[in-house]
Structure 1
Amino acid sequence: MTVRTAEIVVAIALALCSIGLMVKSAELNIGWIDRKGPGSGFWPFWLSAGMLLSCLLTIYRWFKRITPESNSSELYISGSTLKVVGTSAASILFLLITTQFMGIYIALFLFLLIYLRLIGGHSWALVLSLTICLPVFIFSLFEWGLKIPLPKAFTDEWFYPVFDLMYAQNTAGALAAFKAPIVSLPIFGVLAVAVYWIREYFSKRRISSTDSSSRGATETATD
């Protein structure tokens, strides 16, 4: 299968999947509910609509031969590429299975740890930064901001102090919830990540400035 053939096959398959998801999501409320936020079908429907639009754009560019992929007659996938794709697919399957038994947050933490470190070979600084910050971001976006609960499996009770903080009626209630490790540790973790990368940024700037000064002094001495 060539790259050109693979592009149109995948685009059509994803377009059909998008239509199916839109039809299924339309069985739920896809609008905005007053004082509650988006309906249960809102995000699945409109994300599927966006994916369908992207697929149609890809199909259009394929017929017009606009992109390099739509003109390529090269082999679509080699042995080495298949290994990478297979490993990635296995990692995603691991994420889906562990989500059922451990909840999305532990599963996502383990997935990022394995995928970024063992498969991606990234530095521990980047790996730990993402494994700490991404679950916190997802919780804040979906469960706090959009009020959409995500699967937690047996860890559901662990999050009770977090919900106490979210719905605290006064400062005393918020401070009491903050004492729970499930609340305080992620916050301190995100702050530690922010401090680390800020220090890294200014450290690199200082080194760059020192190198520039050294080169300038050397050039002046040479002249």
Structure 2
Amino acid sequence: MITNRHLEYIVSVLFIVLGTYIISQAVGYGYVDRGAPLAGFFPFWVGMGMVVLSLINITQLHRAQFHTQEISLSEMGKVALASVLMIAFILSSLYFGMVISAFFLMVSIGILFGTGGKRFYIMLTAISVAMTVFLFIVFKQLLQVPLL
């Protein structure tokens, strides 16, 4: 079994590596030109935030005295399946578009981690439809991003 504490260390180190990579790539896109932010401005600060917050998390893990809870194999399996669902979302968005694929991702992850029951499934469907409509309005109508 793996404990929460070990998993937090692993994830924090991975986020430090990813954040450092994002920073290095963002610098190549430029930061600011004549007072206006360039394409690398936002990714630079996202990467910086990932690195700094991960370092804070590691520092807190070293200082903290808390019970370490073991993570069951079934919970790890759910996380792995959610990762597979996200990869399927990326691949399916190439064929069905981002909005439709996002709907199926929301429903699938809701079913995977949800409580079940008639009321839950009604709420899950309603929220997924509402978010799909919201995504369509934002990306297609307001930002005019081609969705397929």
Same amino acid, percent of matched pairs: 18
Q: Secondary structure of 1:61's partner?
A: helix
Give a deviation string over 1:97-149, Cα, whole Å, max 9, x none: 112222221211221122224652433234322333355247527983xx594
Partner of 1:8: 9
Partner of 1:107: 101
Q: Within 5 A, what are the aligned runs for 1:55-70?
A: 55-65=54-64, 68=66
Gaps of 5+ in 2: none
State whether residues 12 and 57 of structure 2, in contact with CA within 8 Å, keep that contact through their aligned partners in structure 1.
Answer: yes
Partner of 1:165: none
Partner of 1:123: 121
Give a deviation string over 1:58-93, Cα, whole Å, max 9, x none: 011012126x3xx52x43x31221221122112111
Greater relative contact order, per chain length (Cα 8 Å cut-off, separation 6+): 2
Q: Does 1:29 align with 2:23?
A: no
Aligned residues: 143
Partners of 1:100 and 1:80 lie apart in 2 by 31
Gaps of 5+ in 1: 156-223
Q: Does 1:85 align with 2:83?
A: no
State whether residues 99 and 132 of structure 2, in contact with CA within 8 Å, keep that contact through their aligned partners in structure 1.
Answer: no
Letter of the 1:10 counterpart: V
